[in-house]
């Protein structure tokens, strides 16, 4: 939902109608309610292979049903096969935003979508349908034009600006693109928490229930406040590429542990904002090195400013692209530098 929030807000202010469709994932419903958007939930996702096949049929049907009532001109999706299939069935346009390159999903939706928007650092090649822009998904909602951190979040946790605290993120490893991938072991997680807890506050965001020994560290505020908190954190350590990338943009250094390759992370690593480990080997040693750097946070903020300057306000670009499609697609193919208007 974060990805489309500023876009949806801008489109509504321009007099367009916007409807979100979603599945019940970690915090999707809470975030949509908090933002005040109209939405339809299709229920919980399926985890088994058979369940995912049945889910594809179910969610396709529900997407088409919702669209018949709402009557959209354009479907905009984050690599969703349901939106692409519904658009094709109803002879409408589907435009996809892609950043994971999940081959399973891409194969299912690509034949039914008109255009695929990806950041320039994205490693996949989708031929004539692909439009590359200077940026990352996370810049759609964390660009300084869209986001300014609110320090009031610190008071809710008994913290103040300048306090040493760390945010950890553990994923569930049950997404289709996580198959065969790995991150931290349970023992490595415990070792990291024990070390960091000696230096400051530890706060853990987790996709699945934490073990008993880590329950007291769980993040329990509203999910819409997590980016404010991340902005003031000393360091981020986690298995999720999205939160690692978010930290890079808002100026919080991050240690990312995941065997999956990600062009976004590779690009942000060049700016000295992310440190990517394919497994837990060497992670704790890197954390110890980073926390001893008295200029860690200051340098990360300087580097994030450079990154932002080199890229565009993705939400502003997206509003222009959708409002002016298909002319916008032709413009981007003939003159990609047109996007610099959105810096």
Give yes or no: residues 92 and 125 share one domain.
yes
Query: What is the sign, positive or negative, of the torsion defined by CA atoms of 154, 155, 158, 161?
Result: positive
Give yes or no: residues 197 and 275 share one domain.
yes
Give yes or no: residues 104 and 171 share one domain.
no
Give yes or no: residues 163 and 303 share one domain.
yes
Check if the beta carbon of residue 35 is closer than 8 Å to that of residue 5. yes
Mean pLDDT of the residues in the chain = 93
Q: Which residue has the higher pLDDT, 140 or 175?
A: 140
Give yes or no: residues 162 and 274 share one domain.
yes
Q: What is the pLDDT of residue 26?
A: 73
pLDDT at 144 over 80: yes
Give yes or no: residues 193 and 249 share one domain.
yes
Q: Select from 295, 291, 315, 293 the least CA-distant residue to 237.
A: 291
First to last CA, the chain: 23
pTM: 0.93
Check if the beta carbon of residue 33 is closer than 8 Å to that of residue 53. no
Check if the beta carbon of residue 133 is closer than 8 Å to that of residue 314. yes
Q: What is the pLDDT of residue 178?
A: 45
Query: How do strand 165-170 and strand 130-133 relate by DSSP bridges?
Result: unpaired
Give yes or no: residues 186 and 256 share one domain.
yes
CATH number at residue 334: 3.40.50.2000
Give yes or no: residues 191 and 244 share one domain.
yes
Give yes or no: residues 303 and 268 share one domain.
yes
Query: Which structural domain, as residue segments, surrounds residue 19?
Result: 2-143+313-342
Tens of pLDDT, residues 304-342: 999 999 999 999 999 999 999 999 999 999 999 999 999
Kindly state the average pLDDT of the residues 166-190.
Answer: 76
pLDDT at 181 over 80: no
Q: What is the pLDDT of residue 45?
A: 79
Give yes or no: residues 120 and 235 share one domain.
no
Give yes or no: residues 131 and 265 share one domain.
no
The count of structural domains within the chain is: 2
Give yes or no: residues 7 and 109 share one domain.
yes
Q: How far is CA 29 from CA 10, 56, 169, in A?
A: 21, 20, 20
Kindly state the average pLDDT of the residues 112-119.
Answer: 96
């Amino acid at each position: 939902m974060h990805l489309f929030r500023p876009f949806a807000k801008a489109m509504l202010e321009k007099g367009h109608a916007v409807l979100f469709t979603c599945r019940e994932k970690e915090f999707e419903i809470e975030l949509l309610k908090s933002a005040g958007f109209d939405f339809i939930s299709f229920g919980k996702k399926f985890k088994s292979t058979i369940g995912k096949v049945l889910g594809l049929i179910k969610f396709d049907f529900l997407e088409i049903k919702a669209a018949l009532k709402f009557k959209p001109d354009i479907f905009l999706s984050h690599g969703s096969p349901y939106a692409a299939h519904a658009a094709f069935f109803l002879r409408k346009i589907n435009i996809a935003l892609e950043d994971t390159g999940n081959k399973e999903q891409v194969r299912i939706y690509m034949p039914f979508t008109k255009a695929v928007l990806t950041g320039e650092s994205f490693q996949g090649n989708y031929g004539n349908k692909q439009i590359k822009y200077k940026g990352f998904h996370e810049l759609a909602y964390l660009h300084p034009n869209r986001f300014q951190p609110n320090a009031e979040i610190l008071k809710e946790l008994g913290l103040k600006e300048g306090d040493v605290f760390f945010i950890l993120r553990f994923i569930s490893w049950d997404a289709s693109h996580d198959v065969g991938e790995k991150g931290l072991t349970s023992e490595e997680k415990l070792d990291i928490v024990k070390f960091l807890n000696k230096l400051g506050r530890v706060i853990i965001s987790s996709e699945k229930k934490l073990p008993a020994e880590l329950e007291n560290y769980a993040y329990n505020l509203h999910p819409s406040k997590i980016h404010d908190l991340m902005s003031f954190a000393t360091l981020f350590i986690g298995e999720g590429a999205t939160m690692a990338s978010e930290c890079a943009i808002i100026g919080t250094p991050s240690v990312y542990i995941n065997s999956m390759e990600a062009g976004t992370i590779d690009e942000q690593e060049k700016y000295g904002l992310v440190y990517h480990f394919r497994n837990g080997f060497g992670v704790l040693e890197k954390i110890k090195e980073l926390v001893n750097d008295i200029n860690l946070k200051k340098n990360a903020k300087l580097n994030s400013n450079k990154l932002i300057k080199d890229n565009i306000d993705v939400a502003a670009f997206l509003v222009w692209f959708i409002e002016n499609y298909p002319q916008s697609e032709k413009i981007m193919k003939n003159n990609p530098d047109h996007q610099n208007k959105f810096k």
